[in-house]
Structure 1
Amino acid sequence: MSTIGEAGEFALIERLVARLPQGPSVALGPGDDAAVIAAPDGRVVATSDLLVEGRHFRRDWSGPYDIGRKAAAQNLADVAAMGARPTALLLGLAAPPDTPLDWALRLADGLREECALVGASVAGGDVVRAPQITLAVTALGDLGGGPPLTRSGARPGDVVAVRGRLGYASAGLALLSEGRDGPAGLLDAHRRPRPPYEAGPQARELGATALIDVSDGLVQDLGHIADAAGVLIELDSAALPVPAELGPGGLHHVLTGGDDHAFAGTFPPDAPLPGSWTVIGRVAAGPAGVVVDGRPLQAGGWDHFRS
């Protein structure tokens, strides 16, 4: 059976499920009409994303294992950004029948191993025939009795801080678009992000007033916090972490590049932020928006219907 078409729907599902062990949060896994996930808190954090071949990934740039890791990461990071613990993923896979069976199995391996980083499981999903590969991923999480971290809590006087890499995935994408074969670290950052998942619950413990997963660009995503809270966010470019390896366009990548899934939040000025967080600005009263060194950024960030 070299393709998923030759394997057939049910054999494909059987092969996928065999690669996806279930963790303690899954009361009932694949095999019934729906999975049952434990929700000790009594509330469930839920988020979903679509990844379309040619738009979110290219098979000539990324292998199935990395695509699986990336698909899981961007959803698990959204759960963590709410201050929650990820518990489970659901996967919808649409693919042409000539897709190699091993490609689908390696995709499942990537999903499984990214979930393992946070103790979550791939608890079920669906497969369907389609003209191009599309992944629909839903992630679930548990708040552990605490309040969710939202975008709307930022207050004038708060500091703005980030944790995680910024600009690496964007720099890697630029290199791939130019046909470059290195530096390998930047290419790998595009293929497989490294969200600091523990930053979400940690931010809540540190008293964060708002938090967001940086998926579409630092300025654009902080703009969501500014709009939700009705505040002005002032960033200091000199305080931003801009590694030399990002090259001459490093600051632009840090401000506008997405897909690293770092975390950006606002905190009371006296919050005891450890060294893993970098203060990059402040929250002020004023018209909602984001400025860098006192000026609005004219362009940048990801928009599916603009880019």
Structure 2
Amino acid sequence: MDKLSDLGEFKLIEKIADKFESDEEVYKGIGDDCAVLKKREDYTLMTTDMLVEGDHFNLDWQTPWQIGWKSIIVNISDIAAMGGLPKWGLVSIAFPGDIEVNFAEDIFDGMAEASEKHGMKIIGGDTTHGDLLTINVAVIGEVEKENLCMRGDAEIDDLICVSGDLGKSWAGLELLRAGKEGYTDYYLQPKCRLKTARRIAPHVNAMIDVSDGLSSEVGHICDESGVGAEVEKEKVPISNKTRKTGEDLDIDPMKWALSGGEDFELVFTIPRERFSKMEGENPVVVGKILEEGRYLINSEKRKLGRGYDHFDR
């Protein structure tokens, strides 16, 4: 019998999607950053993410406040990737029995601050007991029909753009794993590009947030749009701090940018004639959409990797 580690996260999602029927009120179901529901004037966005102790956070490195903050940000980033605004959140947490009350309250404080900062209200949820601290957040948002951005709308010859530096979160994770201090802020307290996404949404074709690395996100756009892509390695934006961290740890920071994830930047495609609309946003053009194939271009042309997979251990 196949194991999840053999199947992979994204093949599992495909199997799940095949089991559930949609209905006429669902514009887009399983397969994008959010589900999209039809309304009279706008679309409703719905997304959810689960964080599990040991996989998504480590109690030795992160404070409970940081864990609460992150659990909200990862969901709001999905709403941002669709061009929308977060409105309401539902929080469910499984607490081990030996967790102190102050610890739990600090988690909720982090959630509250992240929610307030991004204009969202927590309206309900659930708590229960579990062997591992596990947090599931569901966020409901809204987006105007003309601003809706999905993975499946890329067109041939679109420019592939990134909203900011990549690899910075994974650099922090590797420092923490090595027991070293340094450039860890982006991992411990990530940010999302909600305001940027709202400004660029009217102009882009396809968009996705960087949860699992540039390779993975470009791959998702290709899958949903039925196109190919090429990414120019030398154009992938990596900050000097991230490069220095790579040197100190003897790890190529390009690996973090392509396959690390949790940077929560935006990857989007835009027609060349609309790129002038990006003035002031300073996106980095890293490649273009092709008819087929997925390539990483450097001194030679090779296939673009798949990025991070939660079941790949």
1:268 matched residue in structure 2: 271
| Contact 2:151-2:206 at 8 Å conserved across structures | yes
1:296 matched residue in structure 2: 303
2:72 matched residue in structure 1: 72
In structure 1, runs of 5+ residues without a counterpart are 1-38
Q: Distance in 1 between matches of 2:225 and 2:54?
A: 35
- Shift in Å, 1:42: 5.1
5 Å-filtered alignment, 1:76-95, equals 76-95=76-95
1:22 matched residue in structure 2: none
Which of 283, 286, 292 aligns to 1:286? It is 292
5 Å-filtered alignment, 1:195-206, equals 195-205=192-202
Q: Normalising by structure 2, report the TM-score.
A: 0.80
Determine which structure has the larger helix proportion and give its number.
2
Q: Distance in 2 between matches of 1:152 and 1:43?
A: 17
Deviations 1:68-116 (A, max 9, x none): 1111010000011011111111100101122111111111111111112
> Which runs of structure 1 show a deviation greater than 6 angstroms over 4 or more consecutive aligned residues?
none
2:257 matched residue in structure 1: 254
5 Å-filtered alignment, 1:94-243, equals 94-180=94-180, 182-183=181-182, 186-205=183-202, 207-243=203-239
- Shift in Å, 1:40: 8.2
Deviations 1:231-289 (A, max 9, x none): 121111222211121133222222222111110000011112224311111111123x3
- Shift in Å, 1:291: 2.8
Q: Distance in 2 between matches of 1:292 and 1:230?
A: 20
Q: Distance in 2 between matches of 1:48 and 1:200?
A: 19
Identity over aligned pairs, percent: 31
Q: Per the alignment, do residues 130 and 40 of structure 1 end up closer, same or farther by CA in structure 2, a change over 3 Å counting?
A: farther
The one-letter code matched in structure 1 to 2:283 is W
Deviations 1:141-166 (A, max 9, x none): 01134352111111111001111341
Q: Distance in 2 between matches of 1:283 and 1:129?
A: 47
The one-letter code matched in structure 2 to 1:128 is T
Q: Per the alignment, do residues 165 and 115 of structure 1 end up closer, same or farther by CA in structure 2, a change over 3 Å counting?
A: farther
SS in structure 2 of the partner of residue 143 of structure 1: strand
SS in structure 1 of the partner of residue 201 of structure 2: helix
The one-letter code matched in structure 2 to 1:83 is G
| Contact 1:40-1:142 at 8 Å conserved across structures | no
| Contact 1:164-1:196 at 8 Å conserved across structures | no
Q: Distance in 2 between matches of 1:211 and 1:133?
A: 32
| Contact 1:169-1:189 at 8 Å conserved across structures | yes
SS in structure 1 of the partner of residue 153 of structure 2: coil
Q: Distance in 2 between matches of 1:290 and 1:305?
A: 24
- Shift in Å, 1:43: 3.2
The one-letter code matched in structure 2 to 1:176 is L
| Contact 1:172-1:189 at 8 Å conserved across structures | yes
- Shift in Å, 1:131: 1.2
The worse-fitting range, judged by mean Cα deviation, of 82-91 and 231-240 is 231-240
SS in structure 2 of the partner of residue 70 of structure 1: helix
* Equivalent residues, number: 263
Q: Per the alignment, do residues 114 and 292 of structure 1 end up closer, same or farther by CA in structure 2, a change over 3 Å counting?
A: farther
2:48 matched residue in structure 1: 48
SS in structure 2 of the partner of residue 172 of structure 1: helix
| Contact 2:233-2:296 at 8 Å conserved across structures | no
SS in structure 2 of the partner of residue 261 of structure 1: coil
CA-based RMSD? 1.7
Q: Distance in 2 between matches of 1:282 and 1:193?
A: 28
